[in-house]
């Protein structure tokens, strides 16, 4: 029971952190051009970053 | 300004005028600080090196601050400043590195709010549902009372964001439906979710052994997933349609009193202004010709395939293409009052062939919701009466609501439509309306427009066997130097036969008449009979246009041109016949031209010389006899009838107004895609029915259990997920090719039929 008192909130906090990270990445427009992101990985120059 | 002879046109000039820097500036967004933003659609962008070369080329242009390509929407966004009062010529820059680009026909919305909201809601619902499920599994595995209580409390806390935030769109939609006295799928979903949450909170407080937190939240999660997929598919299709080239100009060349020409946005064009229409561009507004002569292609406006020659005093209409030399007109109305807007208002008043169409899911919901709600109420009343235990009765009533879970129903239609839309998208057919697939599966009559739909805009030589190769070589070599479509067609025929190019001493184009070339003392003329040669009567089959080649005034050969039939048309007509679907042509073109094309593709029933209003009436007459009409058309004149038909399609080359009035836009050059879409839609309709069947069977099995009070949260969870998985798996069967067999057959027969005669 004592272990649960620590572990369960910890688990949920980690999940929530993941959720917040996802929401942030969405606001940062990281999902606007998924096809482009897949292709840009092939570019080896560093000038196109916005 | 004179325009009696425009030198030799460059080979390969497009019929559509390119977007000029001025036009680009007119359509750009002002960001402030002198910075402007333009979005260009670049359909040929498809890989990493395209992205790089496009971004590099645009960034290198003087005045462009930053350029960012988006491969998903095939667009590029550039921020720029004017240099010396000039906008940078982005389109030219892209053309120089080999990419065609144009202004998107409607604003490609970079930010999709609905999708962002759905995605956020899905993330929240997923997080809550998964964590509650973990806790619930521990409870079901036999947690002791204290732990169970703690876990239920936690679950309640976790369920709150899902119930409050993720479910909000369902409640709003359900509320709206109820306010209008309608029923939709969201009503039982909202009632079930909210009631089960309320009861579970009560049970947690009273320390009851069971709570249904995971049921409500997983339900939301699964449904949001279906909705998001549905929305993504549709917005992809919408943005693809929006990325098509806009055909109407955004501005006009206004000639002021001192003779200088300014490019003004259409909104600033007034009646009585003098406008210059350059070769190859579209007429911006209705007016009267005051200077110059030319030929106009009005196929997209009225459906006439033959060109009109215009001269001083001729009336011209908005949307016609200038195929000859530049001319000047005096605008008779402002652009917003031109024929185009007449169509727009007709569109608005045309009886919407689909306004009274209710989507299958809504019809199912209006059956399903009252049944389920009354059943659960009966269960409540029955148990209350027999046991007197209000809590027990309420639990069972809610179990009934949850176990007859609408997820199978809520997913049955959208999942099938997502898979179907995906498949057709890959074949180049885009649906802009969710219920279009359902309506497409019901049709029994297909009505085609002729010009631009059954035929393409390019003229085809009808009498190649009557023409000697030497004459064709001369005519083709003359035609090589002109941008006139007939000249292009002659040049094409020549290159197809691999004939030698004839060298001339001098060639000039005389606008409105034809071409004149000389070799030594011989003068060849290619063009209208009355100009090129002394009049001789000759029997002409279907003269969309005919030109004559003459040598020193003596006619050598007649070239008769007709329209080119779109590939796949004959196969399509046969395939539709084999499905007992009635096929007709309704065209605005001359009787002769329509009859000729109807004969050549094997359609018996046709009407010609129809005005836009008459087309609409023809379609509403058919529909009032109980027929379900699919209309395929492209022109400005077709827009109202596209709206009036039960379901409608337009090729991507269609007019802006036609494209926006149609349910589907197809990119394919072949018309056969119409049949493929119909087959796929019919199969989808079958799958939807099967899915409903599955849902009914599942409910029939689970309802008695719920009514008897045997359903535990664990059972509800297992039953719910299996039914959802079944429905989705069944929908995925559509991803297998359906029309393969019939397509191969039809292609074979159409190849036999379309052997060039």
> What would the pLDDT profile of B413-441 be if each residue is shown by its tens digit?
888 888 888 888 888 888 877 788 889 99
A24 interfaces chain B, CB cutoff of 8 Å: no
Lowest mean pLDDT among B66-75, B519-528, B729-738: B729-738
If you average pLDDT over residues B14-34, what whole number do you get?
71
- Select, from the ranges B4-8, B236-240, B653-657, the one with the highest average predicted confidence (pLDDT): B653-657
Contact flag B127-A15 (C-beta cutoff 8 Å): yes
> What would the pLDDT profile of B527-575 be if each residue is shown by its tens digit?
776 677 655 444 444 444 677 888 887 878 888 877 888 888 889 999 9
pLDDT of residue B216: 86
Lowest mean pLDDT among B94-108, B175-189, B389-403, B536-550: B536-550
Q: Please check the confidence at residue B337 and state whether its pLDDT lies above 70.
A: yes
Q: Please check the confidence at residue B3 and state whether its pLDDT lies above 50.
A: no
pLDDT of residue B667: 82
B68 interfaces chain A, CB cutoff of 8 Å: yes
Contact flag B72-A39 (C-beta cutoff 8 Å): no
- Higher-confidence residue: B141 or B484? B141
Cα(B189)–Cα(B192) distance, integer angstroms: 5
Q: Provide the percentage of residues in chain B whose pLDDT is more than 70.
A: 90
Q: Please check the confidence at residue A2 and state whether its pLDDT lies above 90.
A: no
A25 interfaces chain B, CB cutoff of 8 Å: no
Inter-CA distances, B622 with B130, B417, B661, B687, Å? 54, 28, 19, 29
pLDDT of residue B107: 62
Contact flag B72-A36 (C-beta cutoff 8 Å): yes
What is the distance between the terminal CA atoms of chain A, rounded to a whole angstrom? 50
CA B17 from chain centre, in angstroms, equals 22
Cα(B683)–Cα(A35) distance, integer angstroms: 30
If you average pLDDT over residues B394-412, what whole number do you get?
77
Cα(B753)–Cα(B465) distance, integer angstroms: 19
Q: Please check the confidence at residue B30 and state whether its pLDDT lies above 50.
A: yes
Q: Read off the pLDDT band of B499 (50, 70, 90).
A: confident
Nearest chain A residue to B131, by CA: A12
**Which residues, 6 or more positions from B463, have their beta carbon under 8 angstroms from its beta carbon?**
B558, B559, B560
Closest CA to B155 of B202, B92, B82, B214: B214
Q: Are B611 and B301 in contact (CB under 8 A)?
A: no
Closest CA to B562 of B467, B458, B490, B487: B458
Bridge-based pairing of strands B445-448 and B582-586 is parallel
Q: Read off the pLDDT band of A23 (50, 70, 90).
A: very high
B536 interfaces chain A, CB cutoff of 8 Å: no
Cα(B531)–Cα(B548) distance, integer angstroms: 9
Lowest mean pLDDT among B63-72, B238-247, B439-448: B238-247
- Higher-confidence residue: B502 or B621? B621
Cα(A2)–Cα(B177) distance, integer angstroms: 49
Report the gap between the CA of B159 and the closest CA in chain A (Å).
12
Q: Provide the percentage of residues in chain B whose pLDDT is more than 90.
A: 14
Contact flag A11-B134 (C-beta cutoff 8 Å): yes
pLDDT of residue B353: 58
pLDDT of residue B495: 82
CA B703 from chain centre, in angstroms, equals 43
Give the pair of three-digit tokens for residue B188: 């039982």
Closest CA to B629 of B696, B686, B584: B584
Closest CA to B147 of B135, B131, B156: B135
Contact flag A11-B131 (C-beta cutoff 8 Å): yes
- Select, from the ranges B225-239, B297-311, B393-407, B443-457, the one with the highest average predicted confidence (pLDDT): B443-457
Contact flag A33-B72 (C-beta cutoff 8 Å): yes
A31 interfaces chain B, CB cutoff of 8 Å: yes
If you average pLDDT over residues B125-139, what whole number do you get?
92
Out of A4, A19, A34, closest to residue B147 by CB: A4
Contact flag B123-A42 (C-beta cutoff 8 Å): no
Out of B70, B110, B154, closest to residue A8 by CB: B154
pLDDT of residue B126: 94
pLDDT of residue B8: 29
Chain A residues with CB under 8 Å of B119 CB are: 26, 31
Q: Read off the pLDDT band of B479 (50, 70, 90).
A: confident
**Which residues, 6 or more positions from B559, have their beta carbon under 8 angstroms from its beta carbon?**
B461, B463, B467, B475, B486, B490, B546, B547, B548, B549
Q: Read off the pLDDT band of B756 (50, 70, 90).
A: very low
Half-sphere exposure of B242 (CA within 13 A, CB side): 17
Contact flag B119-A40 (C-beta cutoff 8 Å): no
> What would the pLDDT profile of B641-693 be if each residue is shown by its tens digit?
888 899 999 998 888 888 888 889 988 778 888 998 998 899 888 988 888 88
B236 interfaces chain A, CB cutoff of 8 Å: no
Give me the residue label for tokens 């060039």: B756
**Which residues, 6 or more positions from B659, have their beta carbon under 8 angstroms from its beta carbon?**
B105, B241, B244, B650, B652, B665
Report the gap between the CA of B47 and the closest CA in chain A (Å).
6
What is the count of residue pairs from A and B with beta carbons less than 8 Å apart?
59
- Select, from the ranges B172-186, B404-418, B455-469, the one with the highest average predicted confidence (pLDDT): B172-186
Chain A residues with CB under 8 Å of B55 CB are: 48
If you average pLDDT over residues B16-31, what whole number do you get?
74
What is the distance between the terminal CA atoms of chain B, rounded to a whole angstrom? 46
Average confidence score pLDDT of chain B? 81
A28 interfaces chain B, CB cutoff of 8 Å: no
Q: Read off the pLDDT band of B242 (50, 70, 90).
A: confident
Q: Please check the confidence at residue B321 and state whether its pLDDT lies above 90.
A: no
pLDDT of residue B9: 30
> What would the pLDDT profile of B343-388 be if each residue is shown by its tens digit?
777 777 766 656 666 777 777 777 878 888 888 889 999 999 998 8
Q: Please check the confidence at residue B263 and state whether its pLDDT lies above 70.
A: yes
Q: Read off the pLDDT band of B161 (50, 70, 90).
A: very high
pLDDT of residue B166: 93
B19 interfaces chain A, CB cutoff of 8 Å: no
B124 interfaces chain A, CB cutoff of 8 Å: yes
Counts of helices then strands in chain A (DSSP H, E)? 2, 0
pLDDT of residue B10: 29
Inter-CA distances, B752 with B563, B568, B585, Å? 20, 11, 23
Q: Please check the confidence at residue B112 and state whether its pLDDT lies above 80.
A: no
- Higher-confidence residue: B658 or B465? B658
Q: Please check the confidence at residue A43 and state whether its pLDDT lies above 70.
A: yes
Chain B residues with CB under 8 Å of A42 CB are: 48
- Higher-confidence residue: B551 or B619? B619
Out of B71, B110, B154, closest to residue A39 by CB: B71
Chain B residues with CB under 8 Å of A11 CB are: 131, 134
Contact flag A34-B127 (C-beta cutoff 8 Å): no
Nearest chain A residue to B109, by CA: A32
* Residues of B taking part in catalysis: 449
Nearest chain A residue to B113, by CA: A27
Q: Please check the confidence at residue B465 and state whether its pLDDT lies above 80.
A: no
Q: How many CB atoms lie within 10 A of CB B580?
A: 7
Q: Please check the confidence at residue B338 and state whether its pLDDT lies above 60.
A: yes
Half-sphere exposure of B657 (CA within 13 A, CB side): 22
Q: Please check the confidence at residue B634 and state whether its pLDDT lies above 60.
A: yes
B52 interfaces chain A, CB cutoff of 8 Å: yes
Out of A32, A33, A40, closest to residue B48 by CB: A40
Q: Which of B127, B132, B135 to mutate to test the interface with A (most CBs of A within 10 A)?
A: B127
Total number of residues shown for chain B: 757
Chain A residues with CB under 8 Å of B135 CB are: 8
Q: Read off the pLDDT band of B754 (50, 70, 90).
A: very low
Q: Please check the confidence at residue B7 and state whether its pLDDT lies above 60.
A: no
Q: Please check the confidence at residue B486 and state whether its pLDDT lies above 50.
A: yes
Q: Give the residues across from B562 on adjacent strands.
A: B460
pLDDT of residue B15: 39
Q: Read off the pLDDT band of B223 (50, 70, 90).
A: confident
Q: Are B152 and B213 in contact (CB under 8 A)?
A: yes
Q: Read off the pLDDT band of A20 (50, 70, 90).
A: very high
Residue B75 φ/ψ, nearest 5 degrees: -130, 165
């Amino acid at each position: 029971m004592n272990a649960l008192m620590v572990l369960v909130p910890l688990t949920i906090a980690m999940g929530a952190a993941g959720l917040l990270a996802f929401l942030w990445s969405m606001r940062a427009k990281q999902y606007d051009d998924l096809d482009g992101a897949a292709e840009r990985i092939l570019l080896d120059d560093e000038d196109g970053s916005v | 300004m004179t325009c009696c002879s425009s030198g030799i046109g460059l080979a390969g000039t497009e019929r559509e005028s390119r977007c000029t820097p001025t036009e680009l500036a007119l359509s750009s967004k002002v960001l402030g600080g002198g910075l402007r933003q333009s979005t260009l659609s670049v359909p040929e962008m498809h890989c990493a090196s395209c992205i790089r070369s496009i971004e590099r080329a645009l960034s290198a242009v003087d005045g462009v601050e930053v350029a960012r390509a988006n491969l998903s929407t095939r667009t590029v966004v550039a921020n720029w400043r004017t240099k010396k009062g000039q906008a940078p010529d982005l389109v030219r820059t892209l053309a120089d590195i080999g990419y065609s680009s144009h202004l998107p026909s409607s604003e490609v919305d970079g930010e999709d709010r609905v999708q962002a909201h759905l995605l956020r809601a899905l993330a929240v619902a997923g997080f809550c549902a998964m964590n509650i499920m973990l806790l619930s599994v521990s409870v079901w595995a036999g947690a002791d009372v204290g732990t169970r209580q703690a876990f239920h409390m936690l679950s309640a806390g976790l369920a709150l964001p899902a119930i409050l935030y993720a479910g909000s769109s369902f409640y709003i939609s359900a509320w709206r439906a109820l306010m209008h006295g309608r029923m939709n799928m969201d009503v039982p979903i909202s009632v079930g979710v909210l009631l089960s949450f309320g009861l579970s909170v009560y049970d947690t407080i009273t320390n009851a052994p069971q709570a249904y937190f995971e049921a409500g939240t997983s339900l939301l999660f699964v449904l949001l997933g279906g909705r998001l997929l549905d929305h993504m598919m549709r917005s992809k299709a919408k943005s693809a349609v929006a990325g098509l080239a806009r055909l109407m100009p955004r501005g006009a060349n206004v000639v002021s009193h001192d003779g200088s020409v300014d490019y003004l946005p259409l909104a600033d064009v007034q009646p009585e202004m003098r406008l210059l229409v350059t070769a190859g561009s579209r007429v911006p507004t209705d007016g009267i010709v005051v200077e110059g002569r030319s030929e106009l292609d009005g196929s997209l406006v009225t459906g006439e395939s033959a060109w009109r020659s215009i001269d001083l005093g001729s009336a011209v209409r908005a949307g016609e293409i200038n195929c000859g030399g530049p001319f000047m007109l005096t605008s008779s109305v402002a652009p917003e009052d031109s024929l185009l807007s007449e169509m727009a208002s007709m569109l608005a008043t045309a009886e919407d062939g689909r306004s009274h169409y209710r989507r299958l899911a809504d019809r199912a919901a209006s059956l399903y919701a009252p049944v389920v709600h009354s059943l659960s109420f009966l269960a409540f009343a029955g148990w209350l009466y027999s046991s007197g235990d209000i809590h027990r009765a309420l639990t069972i009533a809610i179990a009934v609501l949850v176990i007859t879970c609408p997820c199978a129903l809520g997913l049955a239609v959208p999942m099938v439509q997502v898979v179907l839309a995906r498949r057709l998208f890959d074949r180049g057919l885009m649906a802009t309306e969710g219920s279009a697939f359902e309506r497409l599966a019901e049709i029994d009559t297909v009505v085609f427009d002729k010009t631009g739909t059954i035929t393409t805009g390019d003229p085809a030589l009808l009498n190649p066997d009557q023409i000697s190769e030497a004459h064709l070589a001369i005519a083709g070599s003359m035609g090589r130097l002109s941008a006139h479509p007939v000249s292009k067609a002659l040049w094409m025929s020549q290159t197809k036969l691999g004939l030698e190019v004839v060298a001339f001493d001098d060639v000039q184009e005389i606008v409105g008449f034809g071409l004149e070339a000389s070799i030594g003392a011989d003068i060849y003329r290619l063009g209208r009979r009355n100009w090129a040669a002394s009049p001789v009567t000759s029997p002409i089959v279907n003269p969309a246009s005919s030109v004559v080649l003459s040598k020193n005034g003596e006619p050598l050969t007649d070239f008769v041109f007709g329209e080119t039939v779109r590939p796949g048309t004959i196969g399509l007509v046969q395939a539709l016949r084999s499905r007992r679907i009635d096929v007709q042509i309704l065209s605005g073109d001359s009787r002769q031209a329509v009859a000729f094309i109807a004969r050549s593709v094997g359609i018996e029933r046709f009407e010609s010389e129809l005005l836009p209003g008459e087309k609409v009436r023809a379609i509403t007459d058919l529909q009032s006899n109980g027929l379900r009409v699919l209309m395929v058309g492209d022109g400005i004149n077709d827009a109202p009838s596209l709206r009036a038909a039960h379901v409608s399609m337009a090729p991507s080359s269609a007019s802006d107004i036609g494209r926006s009035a149609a349910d589907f836009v197809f990119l394919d050059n072949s018309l056969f895609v119409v049949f493929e879409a119909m087959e796929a839609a019919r199969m989808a309709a079958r799958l939807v029915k099967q899915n409903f069947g599955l849902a009914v069977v599942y409910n029939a099995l689970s309802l008695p259990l719920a009514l008897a009070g045997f359903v535990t949260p664990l059972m509800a969870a297992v039953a719910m997920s299996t039914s959802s998985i079944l429905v989705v798996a069944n929908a995925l069967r559509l991803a297998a090719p359906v029309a393969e067999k019939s397509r191969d057959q039809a292609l074979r027969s159409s190849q036999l039929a379309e052997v060039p005669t």
